[in-house]
Structure 1
Amino acid sequence: MKVSTQKSFRAVHTWTGLVAGLFLFIAFYAGSVSVFVHELMSWQQQGELRQATSLDRAQPLIDQFLAQTPEAAHGFSLVLPGHHGPELSLYWYNEQSGAQQKIQWQGDELSHAPARQDFVSLIYDLHFTAGLPRLFGTYLFGIVCILYGLALVSGVVIYAPVFFKDLFALRFGQSLKRVWQDAHNLIGVLSLPFHILFAWSGAVLTIGFVLLAPFQFLVYDGKLLEILEPEFEVVAHVEPTGVKVPLLPVTELLAKAQATLPELEIESLYYHDAGDQNGNVTFYGQIHSQALTQSGVVVLNASTAEVLGQLTPEQFRPGTTFLRGLQSLHYGNFAEYPVKWLYFLLGLAGAFLFYSGNLMWIEARRKAGDVLQPRSIRFLTALTNGSCIGAMAGVSGLFLAGTLLPEALHAKVYFALFGLALLWAFIRPAVQARRELLLLTALLTLLIPLAGYLHSGEQLLSALLQGHWIRFGVDATALGMAAAFWRLSRI
């Protein structure tokens, strides 16, 4: 390869990595945690006195909600007790306010609160928004994924000639930059197939429709979405008649859906045009099988329980199979715990990859410059330490808030810790700031088992002896992560 060509690829790799690296660090770190999203919900709820809401209260919940908010009849979701918590929850997107609402029973009255403000949902959202406003953050991450792909391709082109020569070389006796570079290259090469998958699937899942725009307007004369629409529908859309009819009770509809597809483990219902003669309800759930995609769907008329359609993984159309399969591969929603732990480790390794990439560039520029360092180098150093370590401290703080504080305060805890870390990184010398922030993160992570004990009264050893594997797994992992943060602070 010509020297000029190699320099061009090196420049692409460096700058795409620097621009996208900080966002990707947060995405990978939060993503590694959110692999266990259902387990974290169970961990948070252990020790609480709340009982699972009876399904008999589902229809009164819907009736009272629609009586108060008739405009919501166009579309709303009902989440059943189970993986998503012990209580019935109704979700509705308020177009006037532009926010999603969560409605639950509070005694005999309905409580309205912003949706997705609990700590588990916040960690999940960090994976594809980095804490930015949801719509803006999602589209921004789609662009970041494209830059991520460019960094991967250019990195392979640059280092392909020495992949096998220096693959397992970890030269601890040499400079700090050499140690970071060896670790960066090792992790990058060994996890390359997964990173290609994450970059590609991340772009498709965030800005897939934007990527289709050239084909929509230049190839298919504006008709591509019409062609694709049947690929992702279980039943064709039918306009409401305007004829009002009563809804069948939720329990009756559930029984019909379960009889229609017995293997479906129903998790949620989506009502469309509720109360209209053509209104329907879609039942979403899981079908445990060996297939990559395990989701199933049943659609009934909401007033007559007539079966309008059903869909299992074996019946998926090519487009649905592709999209659902891509989602399963991206989130690790298959093959149970071996894959979940693999994705957890890959997420942490990916976060290290982006952090170490920035540190290598900073170290190289520092050695090339004078003792005082240019302002740009100091700025990037503080930004890297503050945002990366601040995100880790914020996630640990979310675990503490999730067990000890009301949901409304969870986001405030994360952003307070993230902002504090960022400020600290800018006002303190770089090396001291990194060590102090890592020690703070270690302390916050170490407190997670204690917070769990205060919440449930169950110690780590007791959880192990009594077979409470989720509590034991979360607390043991927190202790291991705290030890790792402490060890990193000593380097």
Structure 2
Amino acid sequence: MAEQKKTSGAGQGGFRQAQAWLHTWCGLWFSWLLFAVFLTGTLAVFAEPISHWMTPEHHAEEAEQAAAAGQQGGDLAQRLAWGVAYMEKHHPGAEMWELWPSDAQGAGDLRVYWFDEKRQYASAQLDSATGQPLPAHGVVRATQGGHHFVDFHYRLHAGQAGLWVVGIAGIAMLVALVSGVITHRRIFKDFFTFRAHKGQRSWLDAHNAVAVLTLPFQIMIAYTGIAISASTFMPAGIAAYFGTGSQGLHSYVVALNESDRPERSGRAMAVPGLEPFALRGQALMGQPVRAVVVDSPGDAAARIGVYGWNSDEEMQQRLSPTTGMVMFSAATAEVLKLRQPGDVDGAGASMTKSVMGSLHQVEFGGQPLKWLYFLCGLAGSAMMATGAILFMVKRRSKHLGRQAGEFGSATARVYRLVEGLNVAAIAGLSLGCIGYLWANRLVPVGLSHRAGWELAVFFGLWSLALLHALVRAPAAAWQEQLGLLALLCLLLPLLNWITVADSLPAQIARGDWESAGVELCAVALGLLAAWAWAYLRRRGADAARRVPAVKMEVGA
């Protein structure tokens, strides 16, 4: 009957139709933010290699360390004695001394760490053969390196407010994933079907394929991302015990990390020889010594903590990234605490949080698992991008066909805004990411607040991409931004060679696969962007040829 005519909306149809509405709109309004979070999180998997590429001044230092890796220098006792002597001379009032005597093989230089007067982590590197401080290797460019992608991924460089925004987006992602599975009745069957050159059908097939392929990964990464920030999203327990506001949060962090740290006794006591503690701790936890930490040095209440190295084999066999640890009383040599590798302080809840953090941050499994996360992250980004594009492909033909719009008289303006946001969120963010790497080579090394200028290039280029996408026609905006993206990616190795005299072949020849990997991935992205640009250009030319033919037929 006419009066029973169906209309679209959340309240119409059955349960599956309601889930389709939820999937479409929840997915659309959060897809742009989720794409940004997912893409930067994918890049954050290799934050250390990116930081390595962005600090070329360290390469000579790292090459020297690699060449001297087999040179033992002083033995463990001598290295620890040199570290204590340096700290007693230069930082006697520090509340903590942290000594890294060697690498996991017992070689390499000695490193010492402490908290300065601003409670910032400070460090120095000592020669393993003489115990003398090593000179700095010239001026090093200030940069956030790959940590920029880490920070943006989980809090958008916006502190606690950004953390809340990303958390809400993560919940929306879980809603979209679950409702998407319910909506697509033949989701697993369609996974094995791809119909090319079919417009909306092709985009839906691509969206289904990348979604189903990595569905367990997407659910896991969204859930663990929310869970590891649970104390922020559910702060009632912290507020009840430690108070509200920043002071309560600070008290909670102090209690979490220093709950068992003894108060200074006021009685002076020289730091004892550290080698016996290190060797005993190594035997108790079954790991080579990574660090020896002295809390409250120079006081009778001082503690000596011995921490171990995680081997690659260990991290492939367990999810928790914690190392072994033995805590001693400096005065009596009594064992105060013993933690075996993989254990955590606290009960099952602490272990669960540790495992979830390890799952989310891929702190186990080595390079093979990092690459798996990277590829799954790219697939997740593609899932969000194809979903956002599919929204407009599905509605564009209806709108051009003069069908009634879902936003009434504002339909054309809303669709135009969505088209522009699609371009800026996908191509524009990619431009910002590659522009960040270009800024690292082009911003002068000695410029004040240099790291901030690199971030300004990232956000500035992204903002310009949004403005460009809203001003230009969608088809032209896609072509122009993808063309620029291809150009910047493909020319990155050339830029690196011109600015720091380091070429991609030279990186491969010396085995610097961290730097080579960054540039090879940039080239791969550039080739993909160039293919997309050529495809859109060819499709646009075909459409332009069809329009005159249609006009001639109408005129005839």
Alpha-carbon shift at residue 157 of structure 1 (Å): 0.6
1:328 to 340, 346, 358: 358
Letter paired with 2:430: M
Gaps of 5+ in 1: 95-99, 111-115, 218-228
1:156-195 matches, cutoff 5 A? 156-159=181-184, 161-175=185-199, 177-195=200-218
Match of 1:207? 230
Q: Which secondary structure does the structure 2 equivalent of 1:199 belong to?
A: helix
Contact 2:328 2:335 in 1 (8 A): yes
Query: Aligned pair 1:263/2:291, yes or no?
Result: no
SS at match of 1:445: helix
Residue 144 in structure 1 maps to residue 184 in structure 2? no
Structure 1 position 385, deviation (Å): 1.8
Between stretches 17-26 and 467-476, larger displacement belongs to 467-476
Q: CA deviation at 1:484?
A: 0.9
Q: Is the 8 A contact 1:332 1:339 kept in 2?
A: yes
Structure whose CA Rg is larger: 2
Aligned match for 1:39, one of 38, 49, 69? 49
RMSD: 4.2
- Larger mean Cα displacement after TM superposition, 43-52 or 196-205: 43-52
The residue type paired with residue 341 of structure 1 is W
Aligned residues: 457
Q: Deviations over 1:21-41 (max 9, x none)?
A: 222111211111121223333
- Map 1:279-428; keep pairs closer than 5 Å: 280=303, 286-288=309-311, 289=314, 290-298=317-325, 300=327, 307-316=335-344, 317-370=347-400, 374-403=412-441, 405=443, 406=445, 407-408=450-451, 409-428=453-472
C-alpha separation in 2, matches of 1:426 and 1:81: 55
How far apart, CA to CA, are the structure 1 residues paired with 2:397 and 2:178? Answer: 27
Q: After superposition, what is the alpha-carbon deviation per residue over 1:276-300, rounded to whole angstroms, capped at 9, x for unaligned?
A: 6545576666412122223215254
Deviations 1:398-457 (A, max 9, x none): 223345544523212212222221222222222211221222222222233234434653
| Secondary structure at 1:263 match in 2 | coil
Letter in 2 for 1:203: I
C-alpha deviation, 1:477, in angstroms: 1.7
Indicate how the Cα distance of structure 1 residues 436 and 283 shifts in structure 2: closer, same or farther if over 3 A, else same. Answer: farther
For residues 319 and 312 of structure 1, do their structure 2 counterparts lie closer, same or farther at Cα, with a shift above 3 Å needed? farther
1:478 matched residue in structure 2: 522
Aligned positions of 1:438-453 closer than 5 A:
438-453=482-497
Contact 1:280 1:299 (8 Å CA) reproduced: no
Give the Cα separation in 1 of the matches to 2:387 and 2:88.
51
CA distance in 1, matches of 2:468, 2:269: 59
Distance across 2 between alignment mates of 1:415 and 1:470: 25
**Distance in 1 of aligned mates of 2:110 and 2:397:** 56
Amino-acid identity (%):
26
Q: Structure 1 stretch 411-420 or stretch 195-204: which is displaced more?
A: 411-420
**Contact 2:323–2:342 (Cα < 8 Å) also in 1:** no
Partner Cα separation in structure 1 for residue 530 and residue 419 of structure 2: 20
Change in 2 beyond 3 A, CA 1:467/1:86? farther
Larger relative contact order (CA 8 Å, sep ≥ 6): 1
Quick one: distance in 1 between partners of 2:492 and 2:273? 39
Q: Partner of 1:97 in structure 2?
A: none
- CA distance in structure 1 between the aligned counterparts of 2:470 and 2:97, rounded to whole angstroms: 45
2:473 alignment partner, one of 429, 434, 439: 429
Check whether the contact 1:366–1:373 (CA below 8 A) recurs between aligned residues. Answer: no
Deviations 1:106-135 (A, max 9, x none): 99999xxxxx95121111112212x34122
Write the distance in 1 (CA, Å) between the matches of 2:427 and 2:304.
45
Separation in 1 of the partners of 2:507 and 2:379?
29
Code of the residue aligned with 1:36 in structure 2: it is: F
Q: What secondary structure does 2:191 align onto? A: coil
Query: 2:336 is matched by which residue type in structure 1?
Result: L
1:122 maps onto 2:151 in alignment? no
Q: Could you tell me the TM-score, scaled by structure 1's length?
A: 0.78
Indicate if the aligned counterparts of 2:83 and 2:110 stay in contact, CA closer than 8 A. no
Change (3 A) 1:264 1:449: farther
TM-score by length of 2: 0.69
Unaligned runs of 5+ in 2: 1-11, 66-78, 126-132, 137-141, 241-251, 403-409, 537-556
Q: Using the TM superposition, give the Cα deviation of residue 192 of structure 1 relative to its aligned residue in structure 2, in angstroms.
A: 0.7
